[in-house]
């Protein structure tokens, strides 16, 4: 588990709790992202779905970094940047594929972190 | 030896034998239904044999009396008594010269701080090269014991004691005799015995003698006058007073009268400082600071104990800091003079920390001024150039502020809190005194008699024990009224992490809000001392929430928390009234530095 505990600030018990909360949250965000991806696939110009996906990636970037999941955080941050570039415009095919790929990687990485924590 | 299962089966069911946990006492219980005459000595002996009890068995006469009067004994008898082992004598040190009170003080177990004979402190004994000056009497082993099973128990050894040989002291091969390697003054300080060469100044240190620097002990029969310096590798012993002079000792400093430097110079001892009184002076010691009468309007700090338990025993005015404890008869005064007493931090590290905090506060003040000007210009002329200039100034100050916070975090990492630290007041604690254990503080509002302030590790708070006139003890938690905090963030894990950090700092988290709108509503209801607020949130972002919170209370202390590294965004927050900002992912100790600096603004 790569949860960060610089200078042993948190006790082991506290670390376990924070780690569990972070993974639960990342899983919930991943589930919400799945819905946004489906909405964007159905209508690439759906600005609500676009904003929602952007916000989810932003939150994943921050929360995963806090919990020390650097790879997951990196996906969130890069996808947030990619979606920001298309802010206000319809999502093109390439970006849609990129989002789909990011979702799959997130799903797999979060699953791996969950297994490691069990 | 444990009886075998077969042996247990053969035991008499009418009798029960219990053996104490230490195997020193065996009890015989006879079933209540058994009458006198139903069992005999043979039955008891058989049962004892079955239990392998061989030592200390009661003699025939006593067993017979029991058998005849079982009702009177409630059917129970101590049937065998082993012999407990004893504890030997503790080791001790015999000083073969006239050691002063400091020798006793170095033994924390036996030192009685309120009965120090100050007349003997600093007395200079004289020894010759090769002379045995101290002898260790080793601990002895106690007598051996024996259990009711006949097993031997070794006697326990008495406590050992350590005396270290310092400079110019040699130790015999058996480690028991300590010999002087030079002619000089034997000195025991903080568990170390050394012999110092001695120089004696028969009068004052002043124009006639000039300043003194000596690789041993310096004894001044008079005073150390204004403007002069005395430096010694060993002790400095002054029969009269220390005036506005610099005094630095590698060992202890003993001043038979008082230290009165009028705050102009510094007294520093690598050992301890003993004085009749300390007034308007700055005194530092790696060991203890012990006064006979009072510490008045002084800055006294040490990494041991500050003790004022003799005579008046007062600590009044100024600041006193000790790593271990502060023990005084009274703290503060009837005039309610401001007196700060702190325990729990090493003074050198604490000074570094306070200096850094003071610098940070000065930058925060400059930042507040820039923000004030910015608000004024935006609300009046709206001069674009001027606003740009002010934003530039703010950006520079923010950068300096962050660097300072990093430095403070670094210092704080080495600022270890002694959780066993305490402040004890024997007679009176006066209003106007502020007591701190670590960073937890409380200001005394009403006069209190005996008070003992300690740290409650579990609740992370101070607790005070006082006694009323009838001698009844009372516990309270002064300064327990915790400051409150509100955490606004749409990430649950960030909220929980932040809340945990705040709680560890002693703040009470009133609520966690998932977005700006909810945060503003909760702020309106609870008015917490501090708000931490994420920037990017749906349903009202952080900047909007910050503005609304500031509309509700212009004194609200809001710290923005974000993974957004866009400097313009950060500056927008600060100019909109945020006290500070924290970048995600954050390091808990850095967060603590930022929060502390905001709360203590």
> So what's the pLDDT on residue B481?
62
Strand B212-214, strand B177-180: pairing: unpaired
Q: Which of residues 401-420 of B touch A (CB under 8 A)?
A: 413
**Averaged pLDDT for residues B10-28:** 86
Structure tokens at B381: 């002329």
Q: How far is A17 from chain B (nearest CA, A)?
A: 9
**Averaged pLDDT for residues B382-400:** 91
* Interface contacts (A, B; CB < 8 Å): 60
Strand B217-220, strand B198-201: pairing: parallel
**Contact status, residue A69 vs residue A22, Cβ threshold 8 Å:** yes
Q: Any long-range contacts for B202-208 (C-beta under 8 Å, 24+ apart)? A: B204/B240, B205/B230, B205/B245
> So what's the pLDDT on residue B5?
42
> So what's the pLDDT on residue B456?
85
Sign of CA dihedral B491, B494, B497, B499: negative
> So what's the pLDDT on residue B6?
45
Q: Do A62 and B500 touch (CB under 8 A)?
A: no
Closest CA to B7 of B48, B54, B56, B63: B48
CATH topology of domain A13-117: 1.20.120
pLDDT digits (tens, 9 = 90+) for B263-288: 888 999 999 999 999 999 999 999 99
> So what's the pLDDT on residue A1?
36
> So what's the pLDDT on residue B356?
92
Sign of CA dihedral B384, B389, B395, B397: negative
Strand B282-285, strand B289-302: pairing: parallel
**Averaged pLDDT for residues B462-485:** 76
**Averaged pLDDT for residues B436-448:** 87
> Highest mean pLDDT range out of A98-107, B13-22, B136-145, B303-312?
B136-145
Terminal CA-to-CA distance of chain B, rounded, Å? 71
> So what's the pLDDT on residue B190?
74
> So what's the pLDDT on residue B534?
92
Q: Which of residues 2-61 of A touch B (CB under 8 A)?
A: 4, 6-7, 9-10, 14, 17-18, 21-22, 24-25, 51, 55, 58-59, 61
Q: Any long-range contacts for B384-387 (C-beta under 8 Å, 24+ apart)? A: none
Closest Cα in chain A to B562: A62
**Averaged pLDDT for residues B256-264:** 91
Tokens 């102009």 locate to B264
pLDDT digits (tens, 9 = 90+) for B581-590: 998 888 888 8
Maximum CA extent, chain A: 48
Q: Do B493 and A61 touch (CB under 8 A)?
A: no
> So what's the pLDDT on residue B112?
53
**Averaged pLDDT for residues B317-330:** 95
pLDDT digits (tens, 9 = 90+) for B147-202: 999 999 999 999 998 899 999 999 999 999 999 999 988 888 778 898 989 899 99
**Contact status, residue B273 vs residue B285, Cβ threshold 8 Å:** yes
Q: Do B500 and A58 touch (CB under 8 A)?
A: no
Closest Cα in chain B to A22: B493
Phi, psi of B204 (to 5 degrees): -85, 160
Q: Do A66 and B588 touch (CB under 8 A)?
A: no
Residue B509, SS3 per DSSP: strand
Which string of DSSP letters, residue by residue, matches chain A? -----GGG-S-HHHHHHHHHHHHHHHHHHHHHHHHHHHHHHH-TT-HHHHHHHHHHHHHHHHHHHHHT-HHHHHHHHHHHHHHHHTTTS---HHHHHHHHHHHHHHHHHHHHHHHHH-
pLDDT digits (tens, 9 = 90+) for B199-235: 999 999 999 999 999 999 999 999 999 999 999 998 9
> So what's the pLDDT on residue B108?
47
> So what's the pLDDT on residue B270?
94
Q: Give me the residue from B493, B500, B536 closest to A58, CB to CB.
A: B536
pLDDT digits (tens, 9 = 90+) for B102-145: 665 555 444 455 555 566 566 677 889 999 999 999 999 999 99
Q: Where are the domains of chain A?
A: 13-117
Tokens 């930042």 locate to B367
Residues of A in contact with B563 (CB under 8 A): 58, 61-62, 65, 77
Q: Where are the domains of chain B?
A: 5-81, 92-143+154-193, 202-336, 349-403, 484-599
Q: Give me the residue from B493, B584, B588 closest to A22, CB to CB.
A: B493
Count Cβ atoms within 10 A of the Cβ of residue B187 and give its class: 0-12 exposed, 13-18 middle, 19 or more buried: buried
To probe the interface with B, which of A52, A66, A69 has the most B CB atoms within 10 Å?
A: A66
The CATH H-level superfamily of B484-599 is: Response regulator (3.40.50.2300)
Average pLDDT of chain B, as a whole number: 88
Tokens 């929060």 locate to B595
**Contact status, residue B339 vs residue B315, Cβ threshold 8 Å:** yes
Beta strands in B484-579, from DSSP E residues, in sequence order:
484-488, 508-513, 530-534, 558-562
Q: Do A66 and B585 touch (CB under 8 A)?
A: yes
> So what's the pLDDT on residue B103?
60
B328: which strand partners?
B308, B425
**Averaged pLDDT for residues B247-260:** 94
Tokens 């006066």 locate to B430
**Contact status, residue B309 vs residue B328, Cβ threshold 8 Å:** yes
pTM attached to this predicted model: 0.67
């Amino acid at each position: 588990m790569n949860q960060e505990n610089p200078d042993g600030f948190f006790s082991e018990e506290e670390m376990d709790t924070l780690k569990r909360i972070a993974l639960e949250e990342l899983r919930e965000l991943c589930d919400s992202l799945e819905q946004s991806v489906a909405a964007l696939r159905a209508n690439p110009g759906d600005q609500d779905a676009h904003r929602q996906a952007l916000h989810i990636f932003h939150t994943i970037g921050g929360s995963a970094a806090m919990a020390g999941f650097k790879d997951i955080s990196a996906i969130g941050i890069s996808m947030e940047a990619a979606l920001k570039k298309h802010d206000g415009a319809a999502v093109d095919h390439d970006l849609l594929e990129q989002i789909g790929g990011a979702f799959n990687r997130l799903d797999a990485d979060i699953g791996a972190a969950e297994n490691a924590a069990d | 030896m444990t009886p075998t299962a077969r042996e247990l089966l053969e035991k008499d069911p009418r009798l029960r034998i219990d053996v104490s946990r230490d195997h020193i006492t065996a009890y015989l219980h006879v079933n209540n239904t058994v009458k006198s005459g139903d069992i005999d000595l043979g039955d008891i002996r058989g049962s004892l044999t079955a239990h392998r009890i061989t030592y200390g068995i009661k003699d025939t006469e006593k067993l017979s009396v029991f058998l005849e009067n079982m009702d009177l004994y409630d059917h129970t008898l101590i049937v065998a008594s082993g012999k407990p082992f004893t504890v030997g004598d503790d080791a001790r040190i015999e000083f073969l010269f006239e050691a002063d009170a400091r020798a006793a003080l170095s033994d924390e177990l036996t030192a009685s701080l309120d009965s120090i004979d100050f007349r003997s402190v600093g007395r200079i004994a004289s020894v010759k090269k090769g002379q045995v000056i101290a002898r260790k009497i080793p601990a002895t082993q106690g007598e051996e014991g024996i259990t009711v099973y006949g097993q031997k128990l070794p006697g326990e050894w008495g406590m050992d004691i350590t005396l270290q040989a310092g400079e110019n002291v040699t130790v015999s091969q058996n480690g028991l005799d300590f010999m002087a390697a030079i002619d000089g003054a034997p000195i025991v300080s903080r568990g170390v015995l050394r012999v110092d060469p001695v120089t004696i100044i028969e009068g004052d240190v002043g124009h006639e003698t000039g300043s003194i620097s000596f690789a041993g002990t310096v004894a001044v029969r008079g005073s150390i006058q204004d403007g002069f310096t005395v430096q010694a590798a060993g002790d400095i012993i002054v029969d009269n007073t220390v005036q506005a002079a610099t005094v630095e000792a590698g060992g202890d400093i003993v001043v038979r009268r008082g230290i009165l430097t009028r705050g102009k110079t510094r007294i520093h001892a690598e050992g301890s400082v003993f004085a009749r009184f300390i007034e308007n002076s700055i005194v530092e010691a790696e060991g203890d600071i012990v006064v006979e009468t009072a510490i008045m309007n002084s800055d006294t700090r040490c990494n041991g104990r500050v003790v004022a338990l003799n005579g008046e025993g007062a600590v009044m005015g100024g600041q006193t800091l000790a790593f271990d404890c502060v023990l005084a008869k009274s703290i503060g005064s009837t005039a309610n003079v401001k007196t700060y007493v702190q325990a729990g931090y090493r003074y050198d590290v604490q000074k570094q920390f306070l200096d850094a905090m003071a610098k940070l506060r000065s930058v925060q003040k400059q930042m507040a001024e820039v923000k004030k000007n910015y608000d004024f210009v935006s609300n009046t002329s709206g001069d674009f150039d001027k606003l740009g200039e002010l934003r530039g100034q703010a950006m520079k100050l923010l950068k300096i502020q962050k660097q300072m916070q990093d430095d403070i975090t670094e210092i704080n990492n080495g600022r270890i809190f002694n959780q066993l630290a305490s402040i004890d007041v024997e007679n009176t604690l006066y209003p106007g005194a502020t007591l701190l254990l670590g960073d937890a503080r409380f200001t005394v509002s009403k006069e209190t008699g005996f008070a003992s302030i300690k740290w409650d590790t579990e609740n992370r708070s101070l607790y005070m024990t006082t006694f009323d006139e009838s001698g009844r003890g009372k516990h309270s938690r002064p300064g327990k009224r915790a400051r409150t905090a509100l955490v606004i963030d749409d990430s649950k894990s960030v909220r929980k992490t932040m809340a945990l950090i705040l709680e560890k700092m002693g703040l009470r988290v009133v609520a966690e809000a998932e977005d700006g709108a909810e945060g503003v509503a909760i702020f309106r209801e609870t008015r917490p001392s501090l708000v931490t607020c994420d920037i990017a949130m749906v349903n009202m972002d952080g900047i909007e929430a910050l503005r609304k919170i500031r509309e509700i209370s212009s004194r609200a202390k809001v710290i923005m928390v974000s993974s957004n590294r866009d400097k313009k965004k950060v500056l927008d927050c600060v100019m909109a009234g945020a006290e500070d900002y924290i970048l995600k992912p954050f390091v808990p100790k850095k967060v603590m530095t930022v929060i502390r600096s905001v709360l203590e603004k």
